[in-house]
Amino acid sequence: MCCFGKSWMLPAILAAAATVLVGSHSPRLDEYKSGIVWPEPPVVQPGDATTPPSDAIVLFDGKDLSAFENGDKWLIENGYAQVRNGGITSKQAFGDCQLHLEFATPSKVVGDGQGRGNSGVYLMGKYEVQILDSYNNPTYFDGQCAAIYKQQPPTVNACRAPGEWQTYDIIFEAPRFDAAGKLTKPAYLTVIHNGVVVQNHFELPGGTSWDQPPHYEPHVEKLPLHIQDHGNPMRFRNIWIRENIQPLVGKKPE
């Protein structure tokens, strides 16, 4: 009797062995390369829990709010800024960006719903990521913390308790308009709240307004950032922004 058992098994075994041998010994002569000539990605020294990356524009490092109009009105102490006497608007204008900021809602809980720990960060002064104390504080879902205001609730509620420091890492793609003012690309927002993705490349149907449905009004490619005073003593620290978020563009092969 054949050592391979039934004789019809032999060809199958030889074929399998040949496949393994060829597969494991053949050199890779056909590695895929796109041929695209890429510019070298710039070197950036990354930050850590308390420092920004080396290419960030620091808007608030705990000392002063001179990067903002009306910043001199806010109370600054112990490395944070507390809302007082109106919102603040960055002196510099921004379009596409990565924004980092930290905030704390008041430790002493006062009010409820939209009246409790309310502020907001307005990209380009028009597109609000809501800031609210949504820790055991029900309100309309597209108005709770980390909502795109009145457009999209956060995927989950990742709020920390009142008084605790929280982080927002926001990636914003500004809308584009042609010369006639027609929208050619909508705005997109990605929001990471305390390390949790709560908005994932959300396409905005327009500006976030309290009293109007969202719609676009044409504007330039860069506008100032605004942080809202909604009457609550909210605290902020470590605000920085990076503009270099566009994909590198390479040269395609001829």
Residue closer to Mg ion by CB (options 116, 242) is 116
Q: How far is the CB of 130 from Mg ion (least distance, A)?
A: 5
What 3-state DSSP class applies to 144? coil
Q: Which residue is nearest to Mg ion (CB)?
A: 120
Q: How far is the CB of 129 from Mg ion (least distance, A)?
A: 9
Residue closer to Mg ion by CB (options 67, 148) is 148
Residue closer to Mg ion by CB (options 114, 167) is 114
Residues 6+ apart with CB under 8 A from 94: 123, 124, 222, 223, 224, 225, 241, 243
Residue 143 binds Mg ion (CB under 5 A): no
Let me know: does 167 contact 100? Beta carbons within 8 Å.
Answer: yes
Neighbours of 162 (CB within 10 A): 18
Instruction: List residues bridging with 196 in a β-sheet.
Output: 193
Q: How far is the CB of 143 from Mg ion (least distance, A)?
A: 8
Residue 52 binds Mg ion (CB under 5 A): no
Residue closer to Mg ion by CB (options 105, 118) is 118
Residue closer to Mg ion by CB (options 118, 139) is 118
Residue 175 binds Mg ion (CB under 5 A): no
Rg (CA), the chain: 26
Q: How many residues bind Mg ion (CB under 5 A)?
A: 2
Residue 154 binds Mg ion (CB under 5 A): no
Q: Tokens representing 155?
A: 């995927």
Angle at 23 between CA 20 and CA 29, to 5 degrees: 170
Q: How far is the CB of 195 from Mg ion (least distance, A)?
A: 22
Alpha helices in the chain, H assignment, sequence order: 9-25
What 3-state DSSP class applies to 118? coil
Q: How far is the CB of 87 from Mg ion (least distance, A)?
A: 10
What 3-state DSSP class applies to 233? coil
Q: Taking the CA of residue 16 as centre, how many other CA atoms within 13 Å lie in the half-sphere pointing to its CB? A: 5
Give the Cα separation of 245 and 222 in Å (integer): 14
Q: How far is the CB of 144 from Mg ion (least distance, A)?
A: 10
Residue closer to Mg ion by CB (options 8, 210) is 210
Give the Cα separation of 21 and 218 in Å (integer): 63
Which residue of 52, 120, 153, 207 would you call a contact of Mg ion, by CB under 5 A? 120
Query: x/- binding map, residues 68-107, to Mg ion, per CB under 5 A?
Result: ----------------------------------------
- Residues at the site binding Mg ion, with contacts judged by CB under 5 A: 118, 120
